[in-house]
Amino acid sequence: MFLRYYTFFLLAFLFVPSLADARPQRPAKQLFGYVLEAAKMKPRSIGFYTKGCMAGGVQLPKTGPAWQAMRLSRNRNWGLPVLVDFVEKLALEAKEQDGWPGLLVGDMAQPRGGPMLSGHRSHQIGLDADIWLTPMPTNVQSYKRRETRAAISMLAKGGLSVDPKKWSDARARLIRRAASSSLVGRIFVHPAIKKALCEFADREKGSRRWLSRVRPWWGHHYHFHVRLNCPRGMRGCKTQPAPPSGDGCGKPLKYWFAKMRPKKIKKIKKPVKPRKKIKRRKRQPLTLASLPVACSTVLASGDPKRLGRLRYGVVGDIAAPVRNPKRGTGPNLAYKQAKEEAVAAAKTASNPISTLLGKLKGITLTKQPKKPAAKLTPAADYAK
């Protein structure tokens, strides 16, 4: 009898690498990207900025006294209550005290966070928001205008400096106000904008502590990316370590400008053997199995008939189904299947014995590929 139990558990540990491997392997962005409503749960950020989800999210109003949400078709104007309150407060204070016309708010998070169908790697736990550097117009923009309006880049030709015709001290004051909040962990801007902010701080001759939170990173030349710290006492939320001390001006910026400037090609006298091309491993999309287990519960909560939208078109405030000639109208089959997988994942995580028995009976489980170790670089404080 003892030998039977010993053999059972030995085979289980040999052939079942982990319980997480038994969970669904569908890309998580296909599960979270089609959800229309937030999970009616206690507000909570689960996981890390680039690997997690959000419960109890709230939606930023599309139009406010000092802000307008952009790209409404993406349905990404969601976040934790602390993020929505921060954006609204920043918009009102910047308008009243700094004279900024108002904020154009870009991507925040999806209704339940998680990986997005396109664009960001972060913005997953409801603590990230993109604020355009284009001032808000005086009129309320139409739905179509918010979809088609182009954001203005602040860079001059060559990308090594800001364009003085576009960049202004008013934009610098807006970023300073956002970075001065104790809720903010980091603000990401283009290296050229970071340099302009350092020059602005030199002229103002005030406190430079806010500059330590402003971190240079590629692509942020038409907006700045605000990242809040995890709320104090929120279990399961993994905050980012504090940025390095100092204002980040001077020597730290040289690294970025050295990478931006084109390298001079040296003349080679002797022929050199060409190096072998290194095949870079393609980044695998995040799956529900790679996210925290609690994200399965967040995804599975609610009514699937109200959540699914694979073939949905957003018109104004109404999400109306678009007819699919192959499937017709009705509940989205893809999301119903996704919900069933999420429920199965939650049951699997809570019942490990059934997982072991399933494996021993011959059910094939997919093992997650090992991820290569991350290289430490001066940009290691960013997770996009």
Write down all domains in the chain, each with its CATH number in brackets.
15-263+290-360 (3.30.1380.10)
pLDDT tens per residue across span 81-121: 999 999 999 999 999 999 999 999 999 999 999 999 888 88
pLDDT of residue 168: 93
Structure tokens at 22: 């038994």
pLDDT of residue 318: 30
Spell out a b/e string for 136-158, using b for 16 or more CB atoms within 10 Å of the CB, else e. beeeebeeeebeebeeebbbeee
Residues 6+ apart with CB under 8 A from 247: 198, 201, 208, 209, 211, 212
Q: What is the DSSP letter of 43?
A: -
Pairwise CA distance, residues 12 & 22, whole Å = 13
Q: Are strands 103-105 and 67-69 parallel, antiparallel or unpaired?
A: parallel
Q: Are strands 128-132 and 223-228 parallel, antiparallel or unpaired?
A: antiparallel
The answer to whether 60 and 108 have CB atoms below 8 angstroms apart is: yes
In the three-class reduction of DSSP (H, G, I as helix; E, B as strand; rest coil), residue 299 is classed as: helix
pLDDT of residue 348: 54
Residue ranges, the chain, pLDDT below 50? 2, 8-24, 305-334, 350, 355-368, 373-376
- DSSP lists the bridge partners of residue 104 as 68
Neighbours of 231 (CB within 10 A): 17
pLDDT of residue 367: 46
Q: What is the DSSP letter of 63?
A: B
254 burial level (CB within 10 Å; 0-12, 13-18, 19+): exposed
Give the number of C-alpha atoms closer than 13 A to the C-alpha of residue 129, restricted to the C-beta side: 34
The answer to whether 223 and 130 have CB atoms below 8 angstroms apart is: yes
Structure tokens at 135: 């001032």
Whole-number CA gyration radius for the chain = 24
In the three-class reduction of DSSP (H, G, I as helix; E, B as strand; rest coil), residue 71 is classed as: coil
pLDDT of residue 151: 92
pLDDT tens per residue across span 195-248: 999 999 989 878 889 999 999 988 888 999 999 999 999 999 999 988 888 888
Q: Are strands 223-228 and 67-69 parallel, antiparallel or unpaired?
A: unpaired
pLDDT of residue 260: 74
Q: Which amino acid type is present at position 117?
A: L
The answer to whether 53 and 112 have CB atoms below 8 angstroms apart is: yes
pLDDT tens per residue across span 140-149: 999 999 999 9
End-to-end alpha carbon distance in the chain: 54
pLDDT of residue 262: 65
Residues 6+ apart with CB under 8 A from 100: 94, 135, 170, 173, 174
Pairwise CA distance, residues 136 & 149, whole Å = 11
| pTM over the 0.85 mark | no
DSSP H or E segment with residue 227:
strand 223-228
Helices (H), the chain: 2-15, 28-32, 81-97, 143-148, 169-179, 191-204, 251-260, 294-300, 304-307, 333-350, 352-360
Pairwise CA distance, residues 360 & 7, whole Å = 11
